[in-house]
Amino acid sequence: MKIAVILAICFMTGFLFAQDFNARTGVGLISNAIITEASGLAASQKNAGIIWIHNDSGANAIYAMSTTGAHVATYTLSGIAIRDLEDIAIGPGPVPGEHYIYLADIGDNDGDNLDKYIYRFIEPVVTPGEGTITGIETITFQYPSPNNYDAETLMVDPLTKDIYVVTKGNSSTPSDQVFYAPYPQSTTETIEMTSSVTLSIPPFQNPINSQWHGATGGDISFNGREILIRTYNNVFYWSRAIGQSIGTALSAAHYICPYNMTDIPYEPQGEAVCWDAEARGYYTTSEEEPSPLPPYNIIPPYLSYTSRNDDTLPVELSSFDYTITSGNFVSINWATSSETDLYGFNVYRNTEPLIPVFSLNFGIINANGISSQGSVYSFTDENALPETTYYYWLESVDNDITSQFFGPITVFFQIEEDDEGTSPIPESTQLLGNYPNPFSFSDSQMRQKNGNPGITRFCFVLAKESSVELEIFDIKGKKVRTLINETKPAGFYEIPWQGEDNCGQKCSTGIYFYRLRTDNYNRVNKLLLID
C-alpha cells in the first residue's frame, strides 16, 4: 500500500497559561481620527499584525489598524444599521476552518430595547484602503423575561462556538451577569439567552458622581484556555481547564492584572480589551475623553499593550515533528534543549485546528527530569486514518500545573490509486482503536445540542469483504450497543458513537469493551466513558 504524506508544520513558540503580566505600556496613538468612542478590539487570526477596532455609534463601519495603532483600512458594513455597537470578537462559525468577526449591538443604557443584535460575517483579507462587507448574518436575542440589560462585553468560545454576553452592572444592579447562546445560533428567529453565572469582580465607582459601572469588554484567547474581562479601572483574568465550560471557569477565583487607568497613556474610559493573536499579552484602549486635570484637554485614544511575564519557560524544544512508522502509524517526536521543574507531556489531536478536550495519552508522559540538558521523546498514534487531515499539539506541564503548548503540526495521509484507478486494499484486517478515549458523554450532549456532536470514533480496516459486527459491552459483559451488523467491503472505516445504548439511553460512567468480529478476525479493546 502506497501512502503519500503531506506535512505542514507551524512550530509555534509555546504559550503559557499563567497569570503573571508586566505593567501596561503605550505602543502608539490610534491614528484614525474617526476613532473617538473606541468600544471594542479584536486581534485578527487571518491577517498577521492587524487589530480590528470600532466606535460604539456614528458609522456602520469597522477599522483595521496595525499593532502600533496606525490606520490600515476601513470596511463599511452593508445591509445593517448600527444602534449601539459595544464589542467585537473573532471566532469560528458555520464554515469549518474560517475565522468570523462578531459584532455586538448590545448597548442599552436606558433599557429601551428588548431585541439585541449580534452580527456575524467571515473575516476579510485586509487590503489597505476601503472595502465593503456584505452577506452579514444577524443573530437577534433577548434576555430571559422579564429581564433586560445594558451590556458591553461579547466573547466567542473558539472550542464550542457558543456566544457569551456579559452585562454591565450599574448602581441599581451592580453585579455583572453572564449569558450565553449555544451554537448553532438562529439567524431567522429571536433566541433567548441562557443564564450562566454571576461574576464576582468588583465594579468601578465614578468618584465624581458615585455611580457604579461593571464590565466594559472581554475576550477569550484563540485556544479557548484564558479569559479577560475589564472594567474602567481593572482587567481580570481567568484560566480554563481542559473540558471546562466558560461558565465554570468564570465561577472560579480571578486574578487582577497589573492595570491602572491613570498610568501613561491615560485611559479615562477604557471599554476595550483583547488578547494578541498568540495570547502572549493583551491590548487595551479608551474612548476619547477630557483630562480630569486642568487644562482639561481632550485625551486621544492610545493603544496599550500588557505583555506576559514568561522569561523562564519550563521547557524549550529543539524539535517537534512526526514520522510514519512501518505499520502506517503516526509517531509524534520531540526533543527538548532544556527542562526546568517539568512534570511531563500530553499529546493532542484533532481534525480541526482547535485543541480538543482530551489528550491522546491515557496518563501523562513523564519528563526525564534532566534540567541541564535536553531529552528525546516520542508518542505513537495508532488510530490515525488515511485520507484525513490531523492536527497535533504538544502540551508540557510544569510541576505547578502551568501548561505550555506547542504546535500544531499537520499531517495528511493520502492513499494513492493504483494503475486501474482504484484505491489499494488494506494488507490486513485490524481494529485500530477509538478516539477520544476516555470519552465524555456530558461533552457529547453539549456538542450535540450545539450542532457539533462530541463523539468517540471506532477505527478499523478490512482487508477483504466480510461480515462485520462491532459491539459494545459493559464491564459485566452485557451487550449495550450494536454499531454494525452487516457485510462491508474492504476499506477503512470510522464509526461514531455518542454514548447511548440500543434504546437511545445514556450509558453510565465506567469501563466498557468493544469488539470487532469479522469472518476471520476477532479483537476486543477497552474504553472509559466519563459522565
Of 172-186, 347-361, 507-521, least confident by mean pLDDT is 347-361
Decide if 225 contacts 239 (C-beta within 8 A). Answer: yes
pLDDT score for 6:
38
pLDDT, tens only, 15-42 = 444 457 999 999 999 999 999 999 999 9
pLDDT score for 37:
92
Which band of pLDDT confidence, cut at 50, 70 and 90, is reported for residue 449? very low
CA dihedral 252, 258, 263, 266 (to 10 degrees): -30
CA distances from 153 to 114, 198, 223, 271, 381 (A): 17, 14, 19, 9, 41
User: Quick one: average pLDDT of 233-254?
Assistant: 90
Decide if 88 contacts 62 (C-beta within 8 A). Answer: yes
- pLDDT at residue 354 tops 60: yes
pLDDT score for 313:
58
pLDDT, tens only, 252-298 = 999 999 888 888 888 888 999 999 998 889 999 998 877 666 666 77
Name residue 51's beta-bridge partners: 43, 65
User: Per mean pLDDT, which of 79-93, 311-325, 336-350 is the most reliable?
Assistant: 79-93
Which band of pLDDT confidence, cut at 50, 70 and 90, is reported for residue 432? confident
pLDDT score for 441:
58
Torsions phi, psi of 448, nearest 5? -65, -40
- pLDDT at residue 363 tops 90: no
pLDDT, tens only, 130-180 = 999 999 999 999 999 888 999 999 999 998 899 999 999 887 777 899 999
- pLDDT at residue 385 tops 80: no
Closest Cα to residue 299, out of 265, 333, 324, 274? 265
Report the chain's mean pLDDT, rounded to a whole number: 84
CA distances from 92 to 44, 98, 205, 260 (A): 12, 6, 36, 32
Decide if 525 contacts 470 (C-beta within 8 A). Answer: no
Which has more pLDDT, 450 or 499? 499
3-state secondary structure of 50: strand
Which band of pLDDT confidence, cut at 50, 70 and 90, is reported for residue 310? low
The residues, ordered by sequence, that sit 6+ positions from 248 with a Cβ below 8 Å of its Cβ are: none
pLDDT score for 18:
47
Strands 71-77 and 129-133, sheet pairing = parallel
- pLDDT at residue 52 tops 80: yes
User: Quick one: average pLDDT of 489-506?
Assistant: 88
- pLDDT at residue 372 tops 70: no
pLDDT score for 12:
38
How far apart, in whole angstroms, are the C-alpha atoms of residue 410 and residue 408? 6
User: Quick one: average pLDDT of 38-63?
Assistant: 94
Which has more pLDDT, 509 or 80? 80
- pLDDT at residue 446 tops 50: no
Which has more pLDDT, 151 or 318? 151
pTM for the full predicted model: 0.67
pLDDT score for 279:
87
- pLDDT at residue 334 tops 50: yes
Per cent of the chain over pLDDT 70 is 87
